[in-house]
A and B are shown apart, each in its own frame.
Chain A
Amino acid sequence: MFAYYLDLALRSLKRNKALTALMVLAIALGIGASMTMLTVLHVLSGDPLPGRSGELYYPQVDPQDLRGMYPSKEPPMQLTLIDGMNLLRAKRADRQALMTGGEVPIQPAQSALDPFYADARYTTADFFPMFGTPFLYGRGWSAADDEAKAREVVIARELNQKLFGGADSVGRTLRLAGTAFQIVGVLDHWQPNPHFYDLNTGSYAYGEQVFLPLQTMIDLHLNHDGSTDCWGNGGGGTGTILPSATCVWLQLWVQLDSPAKVASYRQFLVHYSQEQQALGRFQRAPNVRLRNVMQWLDHNGVVPDDVRLQTGLAFGFLLVCLVNTVGLMLAKFMRRAAELGVRRALGASRRALFAQLLIESGVIGLVGGIGGLLLAVLGLWLVRQRPSAYAALAHLDMSMLFSTFALALCAALLAGLLPAWRACQIAPALQLKTL
């Protein structure tokens, strides 16, 4: 029966080519636009570390003075150096890493290469095992290296390619900002999107080339980039001057693998705040936060507003295209009232007619879906030509591919429901009379 209905549908669609093309085009345009934007939204709001992100938490405490305080105010987005080191050394979590960003000048040993700047992450030993960074060669440094302010560095695959032609460079020397560092590890390609652990350096398509111990950076007065917020008499520091004690400029990430540990870590942050208040360092009542990766990204509103707006717009467009198709299909089915009346009079049930008409709209949906997919590929290519940082990430993946087809088919069947139902309501006798 299905094959017969399909044949009927194709015949009917062929009979009025312009109209069929119009309906297919409308569905394809609507699907293409909405799938393009949905893919961009999907890529931008994705999980940066699938499988791990649920156990990673971002602690915040409030060390500010009483000026500018009001109830329910969020604590600062980052930590001071003192609080960061205190929380790091307390080791209350399964793993913890304190970090900030910057740029370091690299002086290649080869004279053929001019000195250049590379994005750097200053962090502590647990960074690598906690985030599960893939190593091509070597390993990260140890907690003892942190305390010893070791001149050790981990470099990214791209930098290793540039400097050493991709060879195993572990053990070799790299001169950074006038100081000799020993390479202890080479990371394989690793670029979580969004760049969740520090959103100040750019949220998307950003990856550091150099990783070195935070304590070493402080010891050498290396340059620090990113956001610095100060209060009281705090000065942000410029060049080689570090931000003062009343400035927040560091991020701490901790790994907590059970809800009980999360609760006890939150309790620990409150106790820590109370203790610091008793010591006179903190002035505000304990005001702590402990968000996991996805909550942290959500809290920071990391997906650009423009992308949300454009997604809304694309779905508005899809709605107009669907209403258009419903209208055209209705007109088309109603015009075939006579034919449908004959089929009814010859014994076809309403259900059978309904199925036949739905198959016709399903065919339109399927063809429209294929067209929409092609348009989405084109649309994503257009998005990639845009100047925004996230543009390069806009690629269609398998799940979005299937979603496109599902959406197109659902849309067309939904659009076919009302006209098919309406057409089945026709009384056969009335139609036969006019023949």
Chain B
Amino acid sequence: MDILPILSTLRRHKLTAWLLVLEIALTCAIICNAVFLIGQRLQRMDMPSGVAEHELLQIQVANVVQPANPYARVQEDLAVLRQVPGVQSVAFTNQVPFGGSSSNGNVMLDPNQPQRTLNATTYFGENLVTTMGIQLVSGRDLQPDDFVDVETALKGLNSGDSKSLPHVTLITSTLAGRLWPGQDPLGRIIYLTPQVGLRVVGVLASLARPNAYDASKAQYTMVVPLHMGADKGESYVIRTRPQDRERVMRAALAALKKADPQRIVTTRRTFDEVRHRFFQDDRAMAGMLVGVIAALLIVTALGIVGLASFWVAQRRRTIGVRRALGATRSNILHYFQTENFVLATLGIALGMVLAYGINLFLMLHYELPRLPAIYFPVGAIALWLIGQLAVLGPALRAAAVPPVVATRSV
């Protein structure tokens, strides 16, 4: 197809042609970035938690009046829950992955270093690894005699008595790799304060933070052997078979209510619900971006249809002359298709530059990573396709113009 006549025609409609190119460029630039954002959100929603998600239940209860011995209360509750048919394992923890609010500590490698090395989430509670189905990569799990009551530990911290503090910890392999790259973490010591040194006795494959907003730090977690008393912030975690979850939840709540009718259940949910809730904003954002992409493509397509129809109507006579001089229908069809392709290509080229610019702006203001090159062809292909589809109707109408038009006056 000869491209020169097309260019010379476009030169006569410079302003209109440039507007179309600009529209295609803007659409292309927004679509590249929107698809990239959708990818980011989907990737985030896929973040591993490290626990057996389809087998876990979370229950939080609150006491109206604090029990006389909150530690004994927890042990009683755990015993009651273990008796519920279908319960495989039970634990009491201060937080769950993706649960939202979190308890964190500053990690140091040397008790005297002036700045913390990093901030990590500290999970407390016995039997967490077994109950949550966390995979132990090396070393051992926490043993009952590693555990200390929180209250005793806090008093020890204030009085400087290191005997009443915990001494060991489990950390994730990600955290180990960050603290001691390429080395065996087992037996090494991390400090939460200059007084609290914890020896690493086991390494976990994965365990996400409750507030895993930053994917690069989502696995900075450790398990510290501390017992907590009954309190409304803590959770009972129950492991059961996926098909038993609903029944076990009902039975467990009934058992807890029976043990103390004065209590209030504040949270009851499966871990699937925990994940669903944590990522709901990401899901909403991804949905909205899909909507914007669809709306942009539709508006651009309609714009192309409108302009092409105008041009076809305007050039009816010229088309008739060309047909009379021997141009076939497919010549005319190809003419309009090529014209659209040329405009789309110009728009896409400009759009790529714009897309890069928008990404730079987003990187500056929203802590987004650089737009990978793989996303550029996505926008390009989408616009070439939508352009060709949109121009097909008007082009077919142009091809249907009979040669006899040339002999009539306008």
Contacts and interface: CB of A to CB of B under 8 A. Distances in A.
Given A238-B233, A388-B284, A331 B158 contact: no
Interface string B281-309: 10011001100100110011011001100
Interface string A93-115: 00000000001010100000011
Given A26-B299, A117-B232, A323 B281 contact: no
A117 B62 CA distance: 8
Nearest to A239: B231
A331 B16 CA distance: 7
A309 B195 contact: no
Interface in B257-300: 262, 264, 266, 277, 280-281, 284-285, 288-289, 292, 295-296, 299-300
Q: How large, as a class, is the contact surface on chain A?
A: 35 or more
A220 to B, nearest CB: 10
A194 to B, nearest CB: 17
Contact of A328 (B160, B288, B306): B306
Contact of A330 (B16, B114, B158, B230): B16
B285 to A, nearest CB: 6
A105 B26 contact: no
A178 interface: yes
A232 B292 contact: no
A107 B154 contact: no
B346 interface: no
Q: Closest 7 A-B residue pairs measured CB to CB?
A: A327-B19, A324-B303, A239-B231, A331-B310, A178-B65, A105-B64, A235-B154
A223 B314 CA distance: 77
Interface in B84-138: 103, 106, 114-116
A327 B264 contact: no
Nearest to A70: B115
B150 interface: yes
Given A26-B302, A330-B19, A331-B306, A107 B64 contact: yes
Contacts of A313: 30, 34, 289, 292
A196 to B, nearest CB: 20
Contacts of B289: 313
A324 B16 contact: no
A385 to B, nearest CB: 9
A165 interface: no
B64 A115 contact: yes
Interface of A: 19, 22, 25-26, 29, 33, 66-69, 103, 105, 107, 114-117, 177-178, 223, 232-233, 235-241, 244, 305-306, 308-310, 313-314, 316-317, 319-321, 323-324, 326-328, 330-332, 334-335, 386-388, 418, 422, 434
Interface of B: 15-16, 19-20, 22-23, 26-27, 30, 34, 37, 62-66, 70, 103, 106, 114-116, 150-151, 153-154, 157-158, 160, 193, 195, 228-233, 262, 264, 266, 277, 280-281, 284-285, 288-289, 292, 295-296, 299-300, 302-303, 306-307, 310-311, 313-314, 362, 365-366, 410
A33 B289 CA distance: 12
Contacts of A323: 19, 22-23, 26
B119 to A, nearest CB: 11
Contact of B303 (A26, A115, A223): A26
A237 B154 contact: yes
Contacts of B362: 309
Contacts of B158: 233, 235, 244
A241 B306 contact: no
16 contacts: A25-B302, A26-B299, A105-B63, A114-B264, A244-B154, A244-B158, A313-B289, A314-B292, A317-B292, A320-B26, A320-B27, A320-B296, A323-B26, A327-B19, A327-B20, A335-B310
B23 A67 contact: no
A115 B264 CA distance: 7
A233 B280 contact: no
Given A233-B157, A327-B307, A316 B302 contact: no
Chain B interface mostly: helix
Contact of A239 (B70, B114, B193, B303): B70
A337 B200 CA distance: 83
Given A237-B154, A317-B292, A331 B30 contact: no
Given A117-B266, A328-B306, A320 B30 contact: yes
A303 B408 CA distance: 65
Nearest to B103: A236
Contacts of B366: 305, 308-309
Contacts of B262: 115
A29 B299 contact: yes
A233 B161 CA distance: 12
A326 B154 contact: no
Contacts of A68: 106, 114-116
A80 to B, nearest CB: 15
A233 B111 CA distance: 12
A198 B257 CA distance: 34
A244 B285 CA distance: 40
A48 B214 CA distance: 30
A308 B22 CA distance: 24
Please indicate which of the listed interface residues A107, A324, A388 has the most CB atoms of chain B within 10 Å of its own CB.
Answer: A324
Contact of B23 (A105, A327, A335): A327
Contacts of A306: 281, 285
Contacts of B66: 239-240
Nearest to B262: A115
Nearest to A338: B410
Contacts of A26: 299, 302-303
A187 to B, nearest CB: 24
B114 A328 contact: no
A232 B193 contact: yes
Contacts of A107: 64
A426 to B, nearest CB: 13
A331 B351 CA distance: 23
Contact of A238 (B16, B228, B299): B228
Please indicate which of the listed interface residues B26, B103, B157, B314 has the most CB atoms of chain A within 10 Å of its own CB.
Answer: B26
Nearest to B261: A114
A235 B281 CA distance: 33
Contacts of A22: 302-303, 306
B15 A422 contact: yes
